A and B are shown apart, each in its own frame.
Chain A
């Protein structure tokens, strides 16, 4: 699976949009971009995933560049409960579901 690069930490004011970048310059054509987050000591939480088109759900939006070498997770209106470590994971889609390889992620701190 392709490796990803994320900033180690970011701050965001409550109510503002949080934009979390991820570089995955070695991504292959059959690899998806997944985002998860982990609030302290809780189980990681699935947020969103995409292949090449932008995606949106009730939690967030995922913007993938045209060359697919980077992506941005957008939390439109961050709240204190969004404080967590956010993981960008590139994962091959195979016939049977494949493992997640967690990197160091971005520690997002949402402040008042």
Chain B
């Protein structure tokens, strides 16, 4: 079965640079979520989109923005990167109240 696809899988950036993470949800899923997981921490919710509209917002820095496109894929844009942004970034998708299905994650390293 098709799963959530995330790209790139690994990304290395320097401080103050920008990064764009992409997420392709499972076909026919209408909701996309982004989570951040720092080293040794539990996943933390950042933002979600339902039918291309922002649905919920968590502890997402103002330097980050995201959107969901007409084909339902989503992008997380991160600017003015800081060392503390180094983390695993997971995208998940769901169809209404079904369980959320997570992608393999993007490992972002900021140096």
Contact = CB atoms under 8 A, between A and B. Distances in A.
Contacts of A49: 99
B96 interface: yes
Given A44-B90, A46-B100, A97 B45 contact: no
A93 interface: yes
A108 to B, nearest CB: 15
Interface string B83-111: 00000101010101111111111000000
Contacts of B24: none
A111 interface: no
Chain B interface bracket (under 10, 10 to 19, 20 to 34, 35 or more): 20 to 34
Nearest to B4: A43
B55 A96 contact: yes
A45 interface: yes
B55 A97 contact: yes
Interface string A29-49: 000101010100111111011
Nearest to A105: B42
B100 A41 contact: no
For the complex, would chain A's binding face be called helix, strand, loop or mixed by DSSP majority? loop
Given A41-B88, A42-B105, A44-B90, A100 B42 contact: no
Contacts of B50: 96-97
A93 B97 contact: yes
A interface, size bucket: 20 to 34
Contacts of B88: 41
Contacts of A104: 42
A101 interface: yes
Contacts of A34: 99
Contact of B33 (A38, A87, A99, A105): A99
Interface of A: 32, 34, 36, 38, 41-46, 48-49, 87, 93, 96-105
Given A46-B100, A99-B45, 14 more contacts: A32-B97, A34-B99, A36-B99, A46-B102, A48-B99, A96-B56, A96-B96, A97-B31, A97-B96, A98-B56, A99-B33, A100-B45, A101-B45, A104-B42
